[in-house]
Homo-oligomer: A and B are copies of this chain.
Amino acid sequence: MLISGYSESSSFNPSYRQSEPGPNGQDRLSALFSGTPSRRIQTKDHVFCEGDMLRHVYRVEAGLICTYRMMPDGRRQVMGFAFPGDIVGLGTGSDHNTSAQAIRPTRLRCLPFAVLCEAMRNDAELTATLYEALAEELRNARELLLSVCHRSAAERVAAFLSALAQRNERRGLDSSNIDLGMTRTDIADFLGLTIETVSRTFTKFRITGLIDIAQCTAIRIVDRSGLERLAAGNISRND
């Protein structure tokens, strides 16, 4: 399972750009962002809402953003979490089709969409990079769909924790001690479960020795391979 839908550096793979190994689109995107003003927002503040006109594209500098959509009946589907380095707001039409909300104090850089469009018009490399970022989004959305549709609660939570561990690993952080940074509600809405089920599953993992829970939001992974086997569906559901 992938956690963040948005362009994470390590996942770029602009395959259809076969030649021209020179300065790549990612660098150019970084360059675009580096000149922009930064903005600080508090926990629960919205970056944008579903239906808002698309004016800016954002890059998370610090903090944590979650993107979500609401159902007519008031339920919420979290689409992904954007960690520092991730880009939020790409790939919509003229309007945002998700809402984006900070779930802890966050610093963002804001790139006007018009500037990005103008740059894309003159820079095929940059366009290719954004195209790939979007393709990555799509892969993540499909991955999430698979996770949520065809997995038990335990498998979903295990996959979620594994993904966080992998993420920390890629970033050179501690892959055993995970700071969730989000509430049970956020996790539940991401995994298509209820907070009670998420909580019970955490407890079960603690009892079976897969994890340790120091505080609600600080998880220590004790048996990583066990967690990954469970996530992959290789363990009976009544474990």
Which A residues are closer than 8 A to B by beta carbons?
Answer: 13, 15-18, 54, 69, 71-73, 75, 77, 79, 91-94, 97-98, 113, 116-117, 120-121, 124, 127-128, 130-132, 134-135, 137-139, 141-142, 144-146, 148-150, 192, 232-234
Q: Nearest chain-B residue to A113 (Cβ)?
A: B16
Q: Which of B71, B113, B117 contacts A150 (CB 8 A)?
A: B71
A10 CB → nearest B CB, Å: 13
A148 B146 Cβ-Cβ under 8 A: no
Q: Which of B79, B124, B142, B234 contacts A127 (CB 8 A)?
A: B124
A62 CB → nearest B CB, Å: 26
Q: Nearest chain-B residue to A193 (Cβ)?
A: B149
List the B side residues contacting A121 at CB < 8 Å.
Answer: 124
List the B side residues contacting A139 at CB < 8 Å.
Answer: 92-93, 97
Q: Which of B72, B113, B134, B149 contacts A131 (CB 8 A)?
A: B134
B135 A135 Cβ-Cβ under 8 A: no
List the B side residues contacting A77 at CB < 8 Å.
Answer: 142, 145-146, 149-150
A135 to B93, CA, bound (A): 7
A139 to B93, CA, bound (A): 9
A152 CB → nearest B CB, Å: 11
B135 A91 Cβ-Cβ under 8 A: yes
B138 A233 Cβ-Cβ under 8 A: no
A15 B144 Cβ-Cβ under 8 A: no
Contacts A72-B232, A144-B145, A149-B77 known; A135 to B132 CB distance under 8 Å?
A: no
A134 B91 Cβ-Cβ under 8 A: yes
A233 B142 Cβ-Cβ under 8 A: no
B91 A150 Cβ-Cβ under 8 A: no
A141 to B144, CA, bound (A): 10
Contacts A71-B233, A72-B233, A233-B72 known; A92 to B135 CB distance under 8 Å?
A: yes
